[in-house]
Amino acid sequence: MTPAPIHYLVVSALLFTTGVVGVLTRRNMLVILMAIELMLNGANLAFVAFSRMHHQLDGQVVSVFVMTVAAAEAAIGLAIVVQLFRQRGTVRVDETTLLRG
């Protein structure tokens, strides 16, 4: 019963999907940002698992880069949230305004 690639990939898919659900259903901006982090981490786990499966460092290198991108994205996102909070006094995103065509 040693874990095989598929086990790690299932965990990664679960993380990614949880993130998508979080982004689409939550109204608190901060939680939406956290859900995006979850999605990126799901992708990271997939990259690392595949990297181990193929005996190739490429996937691990990608996950290092993704962490940096996540940091940059989080910084910008949080700055926008703080700015919006100063203006509106809330961090809630109404679903109707977010997805209005």
Partner 1 sequence: MLTAIVFYILATLCVVTAVLTVTLANPVTCALSLIACLMCLAGLFAQLSAGYVAILQVLVYAGAIMVLFLFVVMLLNLTREEADEGTFGTARALTSLVCVAFLLDLYVFVDAAVGTRDFTEALEGFGSLAGVGEALFSRYLVPFEVISLLLTAAVVGVVAITRRQLSVSKASEPLKVAR
Partner 2 sequence: MLPIVLPVDTGDLTALGPLLAVLIAALGVLTVDMTFEREEARGRWSFIVGLVGAGLAAGCASLWQWEAPGRAILGGALYADAFSSFFDVLLATLLGLTLVVSWYCLDRVKVKPAEFTGLAVLSFSGMFLMVRAADMLTLFLAIELMSLPVYVLAGLSAGSKTGREAALKYFVLGSLASAILLYGMALVYGVTASLGYTDIAGYLATASRESGVENPLFLAGLALMLVGLGFKVAAAPFHMWTPDVYEGAPTPVTTLMASGVRAAAAAALLRFLAGAVLLTRGHWMMLVWALAALSMIAGNVGALAQTNVKRLLAYSGIAHAGYMLLGLFALPRGAGGFSMYVAVYALSVLGAFGALQWFDDRGRETVDIEDLAGAGKRHPWMASVMTVFLLSLAGIPPTAGFAAKWFVFAAAVQAGYVGLALLGVMTSLFGAYYYLRVVIAMWMDEPADISGADQSPTTGLVLGLLALAVLFIGCFPGWLWFLADLASSKLV
Give the footprint of partner 1 on this chain (CB under 8 A).
1-11, 13-15, 17-22, 24-28, 30-31, 33-35, 37-38, 41, 44-45, 48-49, 51-53, 55, 57-58, 60-61, 63-65, 67-76, 78-83, 85-86, 90-92, 95
| Cα gap 29→74, rounded to integer Å | 12
Amino acid at 69: V
Hey, how many other C-beta atoms are within 10 angstroms of the C-beta on 50?
18
Query: One symbol per residue from 21 to 40: x for binding partner 2 (CB under 8 A), - otherwise; what is it?
Result: --x-----x--x---x--xx
Binding mask 57-86 for partner 2 (x = CB under 8 A): -xx-xx--xx--x--xx--xx-xxx-xx--
Burial of 91: CB neighbours in 10 Å, binned 0-12, 13-18, 19+? middle
